[in-house]
Structure 1
Amino acid sequence: MRKKISAVIIGLSVACVSVLATGSANSHGYTDSPTSRQVFCAKGTVKNCGEIQYEPQSVEGPKGFPSRGPADGRICAGGNSRFAQLDDPRGGQWPATKLTAGQGYGFRWKLTARHATTDFRYYITKDGYNPAKPLTRADLEPQPFMSVPYGGRVPEATVTHQGAVPTLKTGKHIILAVWTIADTPNAFYACSDVQF
């Protein structure tokens, strides 16, 4: 009888460890409108991207942005050194989606694995942002220009949030999209270069 109980306990322990080990790996996603840096890499539009070209959905890092989360200069890669090419400003030459300040826009995520969600947040760089330098918190407006709370619900595989692009913006900027997962310590990050 003891051997059966031990076998059950070991089996349950293995199952629990498997669930815990894969908790964050079950959820992945990226923005494709406006086109994110990871999508430009995956499509081959931008070369020399390293591993991100094979897994654009995997830019996962600590949640709690902006008070916590990836370090300054490592935000576009979610703090993940495997995807450091996303933080390289490439002399400000990343392809950019053309936008008009104040226009209505559909911000779209492709979720390759869905997960319970706290919210989606969208930040934009301040006027005077230098696109030739890695992104820092000081470069971003202090508050997101759009927040979409989810209250733990699981989103669809394609999620579009209708909103408005901030007014009075000119030149090149970055829109940082953050998808905060409700039941893991992580969030997903996507930087989209835009031109007003």
Structure 2
Amino acid sequence: MTVVTPNAASAHGAAMTPGSRTYLCWVDGLDQTGQIRPTNQACSAAVNQSGANSLYNWFSVLRSDAAGRKAGFIPDGQLCSGGNSGFSGYNLARNDWPLTHLTAGATMEFKYSNWAHHPGTFYFYITKDSWSPNRALAWSDLEETPFLTVTNPPQRGAVGTNDGHYYFSGRLPSNKSGQHIIYSHWVRSDSQENFYGCSDVVFDGGNGQVTGIRGNPATPGPNPTTPGPNPTTPGPNPTTPGPNPTTPAPSGGCSATYRTVSSWGGGFQGEVTVRNTGTSSIGGWSASWNLGSGVAINSVWSGTHSVSGSNITVRNAAWNGTLAPNASTTFGFTASGTSGTPAVTCSAS
């Protein structure tokens, strides 16, 4: 990995991919006024306990006197806050935190905020199979050896911004399934300051999609909006007509609505809601629009995207393509440039 030189700046940082609780709760709560009002219930509970400052400073889960210490220094049940009382709400034992969907054994690009830039080593741990989200995280819940260790990785984006970050590739743990916590510990080599964080993940074949933010379900099943075997079929009824070859087949269609979640100098975050407007379930969807002059997509979650010239198309992820009539799902993205009010078209399959 590339060795980087520290700048004189106040220290801060947190995992962005897979997102830490504080980071994803910040993303969940952003609105167009710049205020942070979480919609995720776990995030709301954390803010009720720790205050909104914990999200305005989502990159500050740290101890200035840690000096590389873990067990015995950070008490059991306080790992997600790093023993920092200002973030105690993020220790809550809940199963509805925002989730990042991953594939066990896959190689992915990790991102860690470089709000302030310092040399040091990043350690990433995974919970044991015996861990349960119904109890606060303890050191004994973590596998003893980190599955990824990185020293002085490169960075991209401006220091002190919401999109600047260190980046490095790493292989996710194999033979994991279901919900887990990836625990991060950043040990600075130029001071005793250390950073700690919990990233809630689920190993279900995903590739980084995030759910549980802005009202999305936190733990979708294989097809979260798929109806039961036949929820509208009436029970035995001697008056129920048999098959009628002249009855038209139900129609399927979708609509897509765009909104700007937040904006900042040189960039913005957008969100598109896709809704099934037909009378039958759809098995997939795609949304397309014109990006406009000077707009470039940085990242997309809860969907896969392709860009051709100034046009972008986002298709459903593996887990949110099936929509029952009137059901909806959302995907989000960040982009550089200035947000407009694009007209988004939707196609169902």
TM bracket (short chain): 0.7 to 0.9
Contact 2:154–2:167 (CA under 8 A) maintained in structure 1: no
Instruction: Please say if 1:66 is aligned against 2:70.
Output: yes
SS in 2 for 1:85: helix
Figure out how many residues of one structure are paired with residues of the other and give that number: 169
Contact 1:116–1:154 (CA under 8 A) maintained in structure 2: no
Q: Which structure would you say has the larger RCO, counting Cα contacts within 8 Å and 6 or more residues apart? A: 1
Choose which of 20, 31, 34 in structure 2 pairs with 1:36.
20
Choose which of 93, 105, 108 in structure 2 pairs with 1:89.
93
SS in 2 for 1:38: helix
Contact 2:25–2:98 (CA under 8 A) maintained in structure 1: no
Offset at 1:64? 2.2
Q: State the structure with more CA Rg.
A: 2
Structure 1's consecutive aligned runs of 4 or more residues displaced over 2 angstroms after TM superposition are: 63-69, 153-157
SS in 2 for 1:29: coil
SS in 1 for 2:174: coil
Give me the TM-score of the superposition, normalised by structure 1: 0.79
Choose which of 177, 180, 190 in structure 2 pairs with 1:183.
190
Contact 2:77–2:91 (CA under 8 A) maintained in structure 1: yes
Instruction: Please say if 1:166 is aligned against 2:150.
Output: no
Distance in 2 between residues matched to 1:78 and 1:42, nearest whole Å: 18
Q: Residue deviations 1:10-43, cap 9 Å, x none?
A: xxxxxxxxxxxxx9x8110011101110012212
Higher helix share: 1
RMSD (CA atoms): 2.0
Contact 1:96–1:193 (CA under 8 A) maintained in structure 2: yes
Aligned residue number for residue 52 of structure 1: 54
SS in 2 for 1:191: strand
Aligned residue number for residue 142 of structure 1: 144
Contact 1:114–1:155 (CA under 8 A) maintained in structure 2: no
Contact 1:70–1:79 (CA under 8 A) maintained in structure 2: yes
Paired amino acid for 2:59: Q
Aligned residue number for residue 99 of structure 1: 102
Distance in 1 between residues matched to 2:96 and 2:11, nearest whole Å: 30
Contact 1:121–1:148 (CA under 8 A) maintained in structure 2: yes
Contact 1:32–1:109 (CA under 8 A) maintained in structure 2: yes
Offset at 1:110? 1.1
Paired amino acid for 1:179: W
Q: 1:65 to 1:165 in 2, by over 3 A?
A: farther
Distance in 1 between residues matched to 2:106 and 2:69, nearest whole Å: 26
Offset at 1:89? 1.9
Offset at 1:184? 1.8
Distance in 2 between residues matched to 1:169 and 1:63, nearest whole Å: 31
Distance in 2 between residues matched to 1:111 and 1:165, nearest whole Å: 22
Paired amino acid for 2:109: G
Paired amino acid for 2:192: P
Paired amino acid for 1:102: G
Which structure 1 segments of 5+ residues have no match?
1-22
Aligned residue number for residue 127 of structure 1: 129
Instruction: Please say if 1:75 is aligned against 2:75.
Output: no
Q: 1:35 to 1:42 in 2, by over 3 A?
A: same
Offset at 1:67? 4.3
Q: 1:26 to 1:154 in 2, by over 3 A?
A: farther
